[in-house]
Structure 1
Amino acid sequence: DFKPRGERSFDKPFDKRDDRAERDDRPVFKKSFDKEGFEPRTEKRPRTNESFEKAPQKDRAKDAQRRRVGEFEEAPRYNFKRAEEQYAKKIQPKDDDGLVRLNKYIANAGLCSRREADGLIETGQITINGKVVTEMGYKVNPGDVVKYGNRVLNPEKMVYILVNKPKDYITTTDDPEGRHTVMELIAGACTERIYPVGRLDRNTTGLLLLTNDGELAEKLMHPSNNVQKIYQVELDKPITAEDFEKIKEGLELEDGPIKPDDLAVVTPDAMVVGIEIHSGRNRIVRRIFESLGYEVLKLDRTVYGGLNKKELPRGKWRFLNEKEVVKLKYLL
């Protein structure tokens, strides 16, 4: 993945800004960021949601479909049998009888994660064929009617959608204040109810995953799994060599210490910095730079769990392919 110096995107010349430091005054850094995931600053893109905002409600789903890119016109059906045979046995014993454990059945129905399903079973909130089942290892047979309260649970098709989130959209399924949500970007993409995995601030742009796979969402958000996240940060002034080293070595914030996995200067003027981090703490990237007196003008997530923004313009979305989902599910 590493490219020779001169061939990388951020080795190309950049237009100077009148209010930026001249080359002789810029700090000198020992390394530059060789990893994929960063983009040179370009001219500001036109707002992608302008037509969406003006469209009547009935046309919004059709407009959102025009945002779709990639090879799939509808959510594909994934076959994880080969992946389970190869990877699942490393994590847990494989059932030999081909039946589905109850907690997995509940998770596949999109109700909650497998761990949360264990709690529902243990507290007697799940019935099978009209009888309460509290046995943790119970296996569901074909034809069994599984209910949570009055709701019949049916394993639904898993859907995985990657969005390149624009600015001014909030990461929630709805908003009582009437602000734009990320759900508007993928309206009409599928009939299944999907949810964002984690959050991006309203003013933060970049990659966001939406799915109805509760088990995967829990895995990706758990800090112990060290899911890779790379951000491109535009600052209000060039970062100094001293502050660069402070961040690289780790800082003490109000909610505890934080140390990035990698850090680099992306542009020659030292006003755009790349940071790789796996922490999911609230506004963690912004708070790192704000703690040293910098204002974050733009924050863009360019890589998430190995997924990147290649061929996914701002405001567009696509379905993940099977290979990508397998990598996420088994943290490959």
Structure 2
Amino acid sequence: MSRHDRSSGRKNSKNTGSRGDRSSGGKQSGRQGGGMRNKSQSRGNAPIKPKMEKSPFSNTEGIRLNKYIANSGICSRREADIYIAAGNVTVNGDTITEMGYRVKLEDDVRFDGRRLNPEKPEYILLNKPAGFFVTGNPEKGGRTVLELISKATKARVSPVGKLDNQAKGLLLFTNDGTLAKKLAKPKNGIRQIYQVSLNKNLSKEDMENMKEGVYIEGSKVQITDVSYIDDKPHNEVGIEIRSIKEHIVTRIFKSLGYEVESLDRVVFGGLTKKDLPRGRHRQLTEQEVINLGML
């Protein structure tokens, strides 16, 4: 807030209090008005923290079905009641016509067969450090990537794809189930670039063979490109792939007799690590979300 705005706010507060004195004719009103001004002024110098949006499912009993539908952007609550009564809405496969019916976030709510999401779509990009688990049950004392984005949103976001515990780099989180499903099974795969440190130098012969594709468990994995990283030893390489199979980079090099000592995903579907330090996260821009939806 600018200095001009703060001074204007105090002036308006003072004028409002004076009018209150004249209208009521009592001293009590004036004291109350003054008290409010002092409270406002005392807070004026303190940094204002942005308020985190509260999840509509903070209530353990869930929320009313009509509110769930309204939150998803389909229609208003009043209109939702009409559609519910008409049998247009199902919950976990059952048609619900009861007014006041409550649902929880994990419920499968559909409107004319289309699954609804009652929370604002969130898209968060994290530059993951090594030593954090992505999915599954972490070992005792282990930390998860959800800790790193816990202050970013109250929505229940999930990672798109996986990275090993010791792997680093870009990891996308969202509660947009439609986009997550699309990215999990794209027609042509998702463009990914990794910087890899190997236990020994990658030979030129193996590098050329990789460009022809590598067979993993009888299935050919196409490698878009692989090269040495400038000004680095030849055990430091960059590899571009589109496969989304688990541990695919590690498995590619292992099939050729190399062990991966460090793995860093620097590009994911057009998203990069630019201006995103290790361990930090950011919200995707509207254009970035659109671009991902076109993959």
- Per the normalisation by structure 2, the TM-score is 0.62
Q: Within 5 A, what are the aligned runs for 1:208-247?
A: 208-247=171-210
Q: Does 1:271 align with 2:239?
A: no
Q: Which runs of 5+ in 1 are unaligned?
A: 1-72, 77-101, 107-120, 132-143
> Residue deviations 1:51-72, cap 9 Å, x none?
xxxxxxxxxxxxxxxxxxxxxx
Matched, 1:250 2:213: yes
Structure with more of its chain in helix, by fraction = 2
Is residue 2:91 matched to residue 1:127? no
Contact 2:191 2:270 (C-alpha < 8 Å) held by counterparts: yes
Secondary structure in structure 2 of the residue aligned to 1:261: strand
Check the 8 A contact 2:189/2:244 in 1, yes or no: no
1:126/1:323 Cα in 2 relative to 1: closer, same or farther (>3 Å)?
farther
> Which string of whole-angstrom CA distances, capped at 9 and with x for unpartnered residues, describes residues 161-193 of structure 1?
000000010112763634110001011211111
Is structure 2 residue 292 aligned with structure 1 residue 328? yes
2:150 partner letter: A
Instruction: Find the partner of 1:285 among 239, 249, 256.
Output: 249
- Structure with greater Cα Rg: 2
Pair 1:326–1:223, CA change in 2 (3 A): closer
Q: 2:160 aligns with which of 191, 197, 201?
A: 197
Q: Is the 8 A contact 1:164 1:313 kept in 2?
A: yes
Structure 1 CA distance for aligned equivalents of residues 52 and 288 of structure 2: 14
Distance 1:173 1:258, change over 3 A: closer
Stretches of structure 2 that go unaligned for 5 or more consecutive residues are 1-49, 54-68, 74-88, 110-115
Of 283, 291, 297, the match for 2:261? 297
Percent identity (aligned): 45
| Structure of higher RCO (CA pairs closer than 8 Å, 6+ residues apart) | 1
- TM-score calculated relative to the size of structure 1: 0.56
User: How far 1:301 sits from its partner (Å)?
Assistant: 0.2
Superposed displacement of residue 287, structure 1: 1.0
Deviations along 1:234-273, one digit per CA (max 9) or x if unpaired, are: 1122111110011111122225221211222113432211
Q: CA RMSD in A?
A: 3.2
Distance in 2 (alpha carbons) for counterparts of 1:155 and 1:149? 8
Structure 2 counterpart of 1:313, from 277, 287, 290: 277
Quote how far apart the aligned CAs of 1:159 are: 0.6
Paired letter, 2:254: E
